[in-house]
């Protein structure tokens, strides 16, 4: 606990000088946290909407991916996104990677019951595209 006006570098912790204030802040934070972790959108996250004119293109980030823990920090881990397709149609899909892809490589994309495989022959690619 710091006085940011007098100590912007947060060098002098005031919690021991004001234990009642520190405890009150901790209780408030704990109550908020306990409410957040049982919230509907955390327990049952909504699916990402695809096919809306409000967001086109849709970008699926690594931090929204599901799968093994730490999936967003690795290129060799299976990942998936829970999505809801709002409008039937043909879609282009581009996958961007953090690091260059090893070649040759086989990348599988599955949407519902449809599965497509992209074969990468060129080393150094940082994205793959599956066009409609």
Average pLDDT over residues 46-75: 81
Burial class (CB in 10 A: 0-12, 13-18, 19+), 50: buried
Over 90: is that where the pLDDT of 4 sits?
Answer: yes
Average pLDDT over residues 14-21: 98
> The whole model's pTM is what?
0.57
Which pLDDT score is estimated for 61?
80
User: For the segment 74-132, what is each residue's pLDDT rounded down to a tens digit?
Assistant: 666 677 888 898 988 888 888 887 788 777 777 788 877 888 888 888 888 888 887 77
Going from N- to C-terminal start, the domains of the chain cover 1-44, 45-87, 90-132
| Measured distance CA(78)–CA(60) in Å, rounded | 15
Which pLDDT score is estimated for 14?
98
DSSP state letters, 98-112: SSPPPSSEEEEEEET
């Amino acid at each position: 606990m710091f006085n940011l006006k007098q100590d912007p570098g947060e060098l002098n912790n005031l919690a021991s000088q004001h234990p009642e204030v520190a405890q009150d802040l901790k209780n408030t934070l704990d109550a908020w946290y306990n409410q957040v972790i049982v919230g509907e959108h955390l327990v049952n996250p909504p699916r990402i909407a695809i096919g809306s004119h409000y967001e086109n293109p849709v970008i699926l980030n690594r931090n929204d991916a599901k799968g093994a823990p730490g999936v967003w920090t690795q290129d060799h881990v299976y990942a998936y996104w829970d999505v809801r397709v709002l409008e039937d149609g043909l879609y282009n899909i581009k996958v961007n990677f953090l690091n260059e892809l090893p070649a040759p490589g086989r990348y599988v994309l599955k949407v519902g019951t449809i599965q497509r495989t992209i074969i990468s022959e060129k080393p150094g690619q940082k994205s793959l595209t599956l066009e409609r």
